[in-house]
Structure 1
Amino acid sequence: MAIKAIDRQPTKLDYASPTQFKFGINQLPKVEFFTVGANIPAINMGDAMFPTPFKDIPMMGDKLTYDNLSITYIVDEYLENYQSIHEWMTAIGFPKDRKQFSDFRANASNAPIPTVGKSQDIGDVQPPTGINALFSDATLTILSNKNNPILNVFFRDMYPVVLGALEYTQTATDVEYMTSTVDFSYQIYEFEVL
């Protein structure tokens, strides 16, 4: 059955705006409030080459790789949001001693206890046990041009891998508030149309 040309026309003609989003991460409430930039990471599927005597033929692969999630946030005056990410990273890497790891896992996590993969109530934050304290879920909510939520992007089992530097300078002529970036690795991201 052929598709009519009129049926190929889009029904929604609004463009996506890069300023219409909200970002929420369970583990970092102080970063969540100050977030000014986020991305939906690239996804790549490798390919295999089928050798022939003339030209190797590319064949579709079977493994997906996800780029890191990168967010930009305004650093608060007391560096509380920067420190919260730093503490999370040092707990995972424990550069001084193993106690850093166990203390963070037992006390400092804001991640909700998983209930079938995700918490239905963002305020339902209780101290988790075990390995769950080292990961967090996050949601990037895309908003319409009228600021209504239209799409959620759920990131599962995130953890920070790169924390950007803070640059101090006396040569600034205008007040530009300090920002930093943080990159996260995660298991997968999924879309939910609202």
Structure 2
Amino acid sequence: MPRRYLACGRCYLAYMHPDGYLSADDEKTYYATHENSIDDEGYVGFLNILLEPLLEVIEQKEEKSALDYGCGPGPTLSVLLEQNGIRCDNYDPFFFPEALSPPYDVITATECFEHFHHPENELKKLVSMLKPGGLLALMTSRWSNDEKFMHWHYNRDPTHVIFMHDKTVLFIEEYFGLHSIFRDEKRVVIFRKKK
């Protein structure tokens, strides 16, 4: 059955109709094919798209704690953060389902937002685990218009079920008590939680 997509008229989040979702087992099997690791220079370079602006806005006056949410089978961003003096926990519902230790100064979610079946619940959870003034750094490709969406490579991945728009960023700010302090043209947004 072909996958169907809709978009919210309020927050502009585009999403796959749930009829097209993979089963949890099929989803995990698909993720397990990803061979991302700290030894993969291309992957590390990709993560630096988020890491470099994030390190620019982290105030390193005292020890910071971070969480890499949705780290996948080969945690890498946590290693990069720790190389920069930031202690980082890993969490992934399939591969690292261990208990977390909030609150955190920094939470990253790189290339996992598009996998959230319940984005409102996931964002509430992430914001609740952030200290006031803490940073939430998201990396997920954003869609811009219907025509480009129809020919976009990003929605061909069967595990990608939601897609952020620039207007979604504004909605998230208002709805979740965040303020975006960095946004690139394509995929990275860094929010600060209001104090």
The TM tier, using the shorter chain, reads under 0.3
Radius of gyration: which is bigger? 1
TM-score, length-scaled by structure 2: 0.23
TM-score, length-scaled by structure 1: 0.23
